[in-house]
Structure 1
């Protein structure tokens, strides 16, 4: 039973990426966290309008309020990752000032309507920056997931990030490398907390119990953008000695058409999947690959939630040895690590697992044990503590 709603503090959550419905295939880590925090907070989410979304709705105990920012026919800046959308279609820059303006109005409106006690703002830019401008003295916990920290390097944007960080009660990030980047921007040691996004355990556990794993089935899950390294995977598949029985690519994005044209026969691009279907893919896969690379614009992964999900399902993972991932994957213990961008090394790692099912099974068990610390409930407890400290401060 929830505490008396009157006694619960009101938490304003803001993000650029948010599902239209629970489990619809849009990355759901913000919703999962919001639902975890709703046990002892009144949670109100403010997010941009996306295709198929309702302007106002309730998902479980979470209130969701969306704002429009451009004529509906062209409004697509926030359908997926904003930085990648701008790279794919520079004309979308026309939407940016309207996006910021609409967000500021939505924050002001929601602050008056729900009178929040504290805010949790996902991404330093844009939500953290807009929140600093319009939310006054409201205590704020700011979360960076990588792209805003690594890719937005213009001196003006660096100054904006410094100002957002300086005014935050706490800043969370995905990895030790990101924590170092935050400190370079002036964050104090007591401000910075490494708290990756959590995994929704229930659908994965259900799928693992009902699906049969195929050792020769290889899975890639990620947005089809440069930093996820799908091109490296396709290069590696041309070099393996033992072709996997099946190769499934889950995800969508601006590179999908080019990747499908480049892929050999037998690579199945299935697009974005809802939560249940994605869990089934994890449960059926013997090997999951995460060949992350630094993008040309400096963007790179923090710690992919999809990697943690695959580990939770007990997949044998092969991943790039990049900051964030190396915080979780220990080579030969709970996965295999390869140099980023090295298709030969990736092919060799896949061959090794295909040739040694016992090794794959051992690594999968190690992955599952590691991932137990990254459930939504565990991560929610850490955010709950940070939010309480922000309120007390």
Structure 2
């Protein structure tokens, strides 16, 4: 139920990953959260310009303002994950200073225009750092998904992270391991809150009711970057006793070309999917794989939203036993856990589920029950409490 607009506090949201349009295939968790919070806040989002996006638009009750940071012909730093984009094409570092400067100008301008009462900044770097510089005493809730926390280890960046954390009203993260990392950077216990990104269950529920599940259909959803472990999936396929009926990879990224060349026709690489298209993929899959591994640069998954989405759809889950995932998936109860990077163990787990449909069905049902605690609505309630606390402070 919406509150009277005049009585709503204004929430300024900043993020570097934001869809041009709802459901366009770009991860939509920031938009989903913003829409949930718009029930009782006036929400304004500041995000970088991406392909096909409008400079200014409204999505539901959320106002979105995007800033240009580089000539459009070469502007691609924020198309996907920034850290992975820099690693894939180092020449993109030329865009970084313009990106930071443009973000600072956009946040300062928006703060003057909309006069926010509180800010929600995704992530510690870059939005948290820039927000600390330009938003003055505005109360700030900062969230991290992992890449900024785990991968950016240069001493200067560590100092920046400590400064952002010290000045924040609260910090949210995806897992107990990430909470421990935040404390190492000086976060106080009362600042740290484990609040994974929420799942928009409506399209998934509709797809499950509409689509036919194929027991032998194996699904991988994620950015095609090192930490997601798609290479481990291909290694595992070579070790399976019996090949799945279908193997579908949803997602894009710098490793796609090499992965497709290696897999040949054994795997269908379908690229990014719209929200409804992705929901249909979950509903059709019998098994969903999340073979996450630590990347060479230190980057790791926190708790993949795609994992929670697959659990919401009732897929049988096979995932790496890495921090974040082990907070949600319990081996043999609501999924199967394997050693990160162990292609033989991943193959054995998939073989086990293909040979035992009853086990796959039981694990999928248990996964669906677990995921009920991670809906956008439930997560939105957690953020409302934190935002109210920041306003009180």
- The secondary structure found in structure 2 opposite 1:97 is helix
**Is residue 289 of structure 1 aligned with residue 281 of structure 2?**
no
Equivalent residues in 2 for 1:217-256, closer than 5 Å: 217-256=217-256
* SS of structure 2 residue aligned to 1:160: helix
Residue 4 (structure 1) shift: 1.4
Matches of 1:339 and 1:265, distance apart in 2: 27
State the partner residue of 2:193: 193
Report the equivalent of 1:302: 302
| 1:8, distance to aligned residue in structure 2 (A) | 0.2
Aligned to 1:86: 86
Match of 1:115 in 2: 115
TM-score (norm 1): 1.00
Q: 2:386 matched to 1:386?
A: yes
Instruction: State the partner residue of 1:358.
Output: 358
Partner of 1:276: helix, strand, or coil?
Answer: helix
Aligned residues: 393
Separation in 1, partners of 2:72, 2:260: 29
- Cα distance in 2 for residues equivalent to 1:117 and 1:265: 54
Instruction: Look up the match of 1:313.
Output: 313
- 1:46 aligned partner: 46
Kindly indicate whether residue 31 of structure 2 is the aligned counterpart of residue 31 of structure 1. Answer: yes
Other-structure match for 1:340: 340
Q: Distance in 2 between matches of 1:224 and 1:166?
A: 34
Note the residue ranges of structure 2 that are not aligned, 5 or more in a row: none
Within 1, Cα distance between the matches of 2:264 and 2:286? 20
Cα distance in 2, alignment partners of residues 33 and 154 from structure 1: 31
- TM-superposed CA distance for 1:264, in Å, is 4.0
- Gap runs ≥5 in structure 1: none
Deviation at 1:265, TM superposition (A): 2.4
SS at match of 1:6: helix
Paired position in structure 2 for 1:266: 266
| Runs of 4+ off more than 2 Å | none
Instruction: Classify the secondary structure of the residue corresponding to 1:190.
Output: helix
The DSSP-based 3-state class of the residue aligned with 2:22 is: coil
Q: Deviations over 1:153-207 (max 9, x none)?
A: 0000000000000000000000000000000000000000000000001000000
Q: Deviation digits for residues 227-263 of structure 1, max 9, x if unmatched?
A: 0000000000011001000000000000000000011
Partners of 1:281 and 1:133 in 2: how far apart? Answer: 42
Deviation, structure 1 residue 3 = 1.4
Q: Shift of the alpha carbon at 1:6?
A: 1.2
Q: Distance in 1 between matches of 2:67 and 2:27?
A: 19
